Amino acid sequence: MKTKLNEWGFPIDRMFLAAGPCSAESREQVLECAKALSAGGVSFLRAGIWKPRTRPGSFEGVGLKGLAWMDQARAETGLKIGTEVAEAAHVEACLEYGLDILWVGARTSTNPFSVQAIADALRGTDIPVLVKNPMNADVGLWMGAIERLANAGLTRLGAIHRGFSSELEMRYRNVPNWKVPIELKRRMPELPMICDPSHICGKRDLIPAVAQEALDLLFDGLMLEVHPDPSVALSDAEQQFTPEQFFDLVGKLKLSHEQSDSAAFAARMSELRETVDGLDSQLLEVLSQRMNIVRKMGALKTEQNVSTFQPHRWQEIVADRIAKGTGLDLSEDFVLQLMQSIHEEAIRQQEIRRVDGAE
């Protein structure tokens, strides 16, 4: 029986998996990795050919000769091959070698001019193209990059979540900030979504948990970095697996499903969801009452020429609500984000009242 393929040309009966070295470093390294990964389950061999580095002097990829190595790997193993492109010249070289899939990196997707140049270079083709999230958590910018490619006539598009940069010292190399890819999925529900735990984590021991979380959130697959010997890798050594570690991880991952065939599960979930719906209605009613009071406070402030924003009061609110929230088994981050959203809306309501009153 012929295997059914998805719109990208990959089998639909297994999880989408992209794997391979962060960078193509030598012919031997690429071939060794490809042969190890061809054991089964990998959708395409990934390898960086041109590497955008933060500072000059770092390894920036081998360039065109790396495409020849990947082409040879495809011929010897049957694996499809893909790499990252950052400019029109990269696209032209990849098309010349007949790469099976391309992706736009995080640094590039941040720049609409660069994305447009790539889209123009791809016009007239329909190669699958994935778009990594921009460095900053801007879902509109991410969507814009995808839309530019779609406007160029490309139909086999997908997104890659690789986390977001932060100036703070964090557990992860790039903060997952799951709400951003979830929001992208809400706005573009038909768009396949891949997770890149390697770049999110930066350290291989953190990757399994993030990979599983992505699958629990119904991501369509994973992109993972695999090197024959990560200890000698020329880039991102700490986040790469050996082929053996990669297959061990994949064997332990569990795919989540949106629905269950269990009638008892469906009935119980319906009951619980009905309760949640009722509580959400109560929350909205309480928030509406709160904003009514806020508008009255705004009117008093306007009469007395008092500022809308009250820094000391805001500090008191944050400290009090976080203390109450954590005592109710709510995370500090959640309570802070919730109160920030409420506070922003309260200020907006008061400012509207102030402006309307002036008119």
pLDDT at 1: 45
41: CB partners within 8 A, 6+ apart:
14, 15, 17, 247, 250
pLDDT at 52: 79
Overall average pLDDT of the 206-226 stretch: 96
Band (pLDDT 50/70/90 cuts) for residue 358 is very low
The yes or no reply on domain 263-358 and CATH 3.30.9.10 is no
pLDDT of residue 271 exceeding 50, the answer is yes
Residue boundaries of the structural domains of the chain: 16-252, 263-358
pLDDT of residue 316 exceeding 80, the answer is yes
Rounded percentage of the chain residues whose pLDDT exceeds 70: 94
pLDDT of residue 192 exceeding 70, the answer is yes
pLDDT at 179: 93
Band (pLDDT 50/70/90 cuts) for residue 292 is very high
pLDDT of residue 39 exceeding 60, the answer is yes
pLDDT of residue 132 exceeding 70, the answer is yes
Class of domain 16-252: alpha beta
Q: What is the 3-state secondary structure (H, E, C) of 62-90?
A: CCHHHHHHHHHHHHHHCCEEEEEECCHHH
7: CB partners within 8 A, 6+ apart:
128, 155, 156
Rounded percentage of the chain residues whose pLDDT exceeds 90: 82
pLDDT at 268: 94
Average pLDDT of the chain?
Answer: 92
pLDDT at 11: 55
Segment 35-42 long-range contacts (CB within 8 Å, at least 24 positions apart) = 35/73, 35/76, 35/77, 36/226, 36/228, 36/243, 37/77, 37/79, 37/226, 37/243, 37/246, 38/77, 38/78, 38/79, 39/243, 39/247, 41/14, 41/15, 41/17, 41/247, 41/250, 42/17, 42/18, 42/79
Question: Is the full-model pTM beyond 0.85?
Answer: no
Strands (E), 142-189: 157-161
Query: Letter for the amino acid at 267?
Result: A
Band (pLDDT 50/70/90 cuts) for residue 61 is confident
pLDDT at 4: 56
